[in-house]
Structures are given as structure tokens and as C-alpha cells.
Structure 1
Amino acid sequence: MNKPISRLTPVILAGGKSSRMGQDKAFVKLGNQPMIEVILAKLLPLFCLPPLIITNQPEKYTYLGLQVQVDRLPRMGPLSGIHAGLYYASSPFIFLVGCDHPLLNSAVICYMQNQIADYDIIVPDYDGYRHPLHAIYSRNCMNAIEVMLGQDNRKLTDIFGKVKVRYIQSDEFEGIPDAGQSFVNVNTPADLAKVQTFFNKGDLG
């Protein structure tokens, strides 16, 4: 990539309970860095706009010196985090990623942003799994989210049926080395141990 991405704000969603991990996923160590800092190291050179963190515990993240905001529609799950990201972002689109995706691939993200056209959501459909927490969202999604949450519908993937979505299939990423790593998320100690091997080997693609 020659130029940083200018039309998206990177948004990190850090509101999960981390119940399966047994500790806050954002701060588990990979190598000698907390996972949140590993993710930031990938995002900072990739985007013109600084990352925005959405969390229900903002005091944990102030040391990073970035904009940290809480959900405007609290206790409503990831949809409310996406809504907050869109509300506070200074751009019409956001690249949203969970705080448990430490193997982000810059080429994957660049390919995704090149697919925006007139779509409201760009979401990978990789190896049969959709990845709504590694996706691009337009501000046009805000109204649909508000309607859904007003009806107490918190199912994240239901938003796909209410706006214009571009699904990126696995074969579109075939020319990108290690593209699948970008979608790996760390939910359990076993996941952490597996991802840790990449950092021990320095094999981060």
C-alpha cells in the first residue's frame, strides 16, 4: 500500500465480557505487548484517521492517548458498539474490528475498502463464515441499527438484511498471502496459545 486509507475511521470494539478467556482479552499479552497494542500497531500506519475505541470501561484505555467512547445505547451488544463507532467517527465509513483480532492483514483491509462503491457494509465471507467484527460499515447503517435495537433485536447479522451488503468470498483473497489470518479471533486460552506461536516465530505475514 502506497497511501494510507483516508475515507475510513478504524474502530476497535472492546466491549466484550471475555468470559471464555477468563481475563480481559484486550490486555492479554502477545509477545511482550497487550493485544490491544498489537492491533493498534497494525492500524496506525494503515489509516489517515486515528483509531477510535468503543468500550464500556474507558478508563482502561486512556493511557493510549486515543479517542475512547462508550456505547450511546448501552448494554445492547455489538450492534450498539457499531452504532457508537459510526456516531463518533469523523468519516462516513468505519473499519470495525474486535479487540481480539491480533493478526490483521493490511492487504485484506485495503482490498475491502476498495469494494465500497455504493454498499453500506463490506463483510468477508471466508471459508463459509461471515465476519461482522472485521467489516466496513457506512453511516447509513445507523438508522437500521436504531430500529433493530428499538425492537430489542440484538442479532448482529440481522443488519445484513436491512442495508446493501457486499460479501467478499474466500476466492477473492487468494492473491493475498496469509489472508485468513486476518479473521482469526482469540476467545479462549487455547486460541491464545495458538496465536502466540505466530509471535514467538515472528511469522505475522
Structure 2
Amino acid sequence: MEISCAILAGGQSRRFGSDKTVAKLYGYSFTEILSIKLSKISSDVMVISKDNSKFDFKKNVRFINDEFEAQCPLVGIITALKNALNEWVFITSADSPLLKIEFVNLLYNDLDSYDVLLPVIDGKIYTLNGFYHKKILNILLDYFKKGTYRLLDIYPELNIFYFDDVEKIKKVDEGLFSFININTKDDYEQAKKIAEKIGLGI
């Protein structure tokens, strides 16, 4: 695939109680699990955060510091689009280590002339689980400079395809594990149980 991939690993992890981007499942940090998975479909995998020195793995990935100090997903996406080697960038967050590569492939097959392609499950838009095109970089920068950081406030200006065929998604990710965000210790324990059943996929 001629795509880039970006793992946004700059969250503050307030509810988790410690930096979840380096929390581990079976010896691998959430971020490393994603980097291994995504490197199977892309030769350009980026880890984007405020401090990349915290990661203890180096293989198959580029570590890039956030473009701006502001703490929000918009900054991570701007940084990803600016540094990506390919036109399309799959964006995910480090707290989604159960992501299924088959799901990424499914979305990839529907890329067209859109600006963004995002999955929608039960009316919820998953902003950090989809594809963004480099051509929107300047639009995102303009909004950021005007102080608009919320992605949902920017989307009306973009040509977005909302992938809402849940049955099609379930054919490649029956348990919808790609949409599990680990935000709390309880989420963490649940993710361990799921990983024990289905493996890490690496």
C-alpha cells in the first residue's frame, strides 16, 4: 500500500493514572504493538508525541515530535500530514492496540477523491481511526491558527466519506476491537482478557 501511518502518542492519560502509551500487553507497549501491525502494510510508520525518548523500541518506525505545544489530536494530525511520505495517512491513537489490520485494509479499499475517510459506529464518528489526505494540511493549519482545535468543528469544510457499514466492518473485525480505546485501568484489564483470547495480531 502506498500509504503512511501515524500513531498519535501524545495524550495526557489523566484517567489511566500513568502514561498509557508505554503501558504493556504481553511485553509490548501499546505503541509498539501498533507500530508492528502497521509496518506490515506501510513502509512509512510514524510515532508522534511530545516526548519520543520515552519509547524503548526503534524498529520500522519514525519518531516525530509534535509540531506545536497545544495538546489536542489536531496537532498530531497536522504533524502527521506534514511529515508523511505518502498522500494518504492512516491515523490512529496509541490507546487502540487491538486495532485490526484487516479493518485498515477495508477502509483503504474505499479511498477515492475524498479529503478524509472515517468510520462511524452507532452514530459515533471515530476521528482517530481513519484516513486523512495531505491536501487538507493547510486547511487544518488555518483552523489551528484561528484557535479552532476541535476536529468536529472543522469537518463541515472537508469532503468526508463516513464509512458506516457496520456489518461490513464486522466481517473483518467481528468484535469491533479496533474501536476499543484504553482510557482507564478497567479498560486495560479488559484489553488483557481480549488479547489473551485473540492474540495481539503481531
TM-score, structure 2 normalization: 0.91
1:193 counterpart residue number: 189
Contact persistence 1:108–1:176 (CA under 8 A): yes
1:158 Cα offset (Å) = 2.0
Root mean square deviation of aligned Cα: 1.7
1:159 counterpart residue number: 154
Give every structure 1 segment of 4 or more consecutive aligned residues whose post-TM-superposition deviation is greater than 6 Å. none
Percent identity of equivalent pairs: 26
1:64 counterpart residue number: 58
Match of 1:97 among 87, 92, 98: 92
Contact persistence 2:48–2:65 (CA under 8 A): yes
1:53 Cα offset (Å) = 1.0
1:52 counterpart residue number: 46
1:8 Cα offset (Å) = 1.1
Which SS does the other structure have where 1:51 is aligned? strand
| Aligned-partner Cα distance in 1 for 2:48–2:200 | 26
| Aligned-partner Cα distance in 1 for 2:15–2:41 | 31
2:112 counterpart residue number: 117
2:132 counterpart residue number: 137
Measured against aligned partners, the alpha-carbon deviations of 1:7-58 in whole angstroms (never above 9, x if no partner) come to 21010101100111011111112122211122122111122x2311111002
Measured against aligned partners, the alpha-carbon deviations of 1:41-86 in whole angstroms (never above 9, x if no partner) come to 2111122x23111110021237424311112232151101100100
Measured against aligned partners, the alpha-carbon deviations of 1:109-154 in whole angstroms (never above 9, x if no partner) come to 0111111110010100012211111110001221111111111111
Unaligned runs of 5+ in 2: none
Which SS does the other structure have where 2:119 is aligned? strand
Contact persistence 1:76–1:154 (CA under 8 A): no
TM-score, structure 1 normalization: 0.90
Contact persistence 2:89–2:132 (CA under 8 A): yes
1:81 counterpart residue number: 76
| Aligned-partner Cα distance in 2 for 1:133–1:177 | 17
Unaligned runs of 5+ in 1: none
1:163 Cα offset (Å) = 1.0
Q: How many residues align?
A: 199
Cα 1:196–1:63 change in 2 (3 A) is: closer
Cα 1:123–1:59 change in 2 (3 A) is: same
| Aligned-partner Cα distance in 1 for 2:24–2:65 | 24
1:177 Cα offset (Å) = 3.9
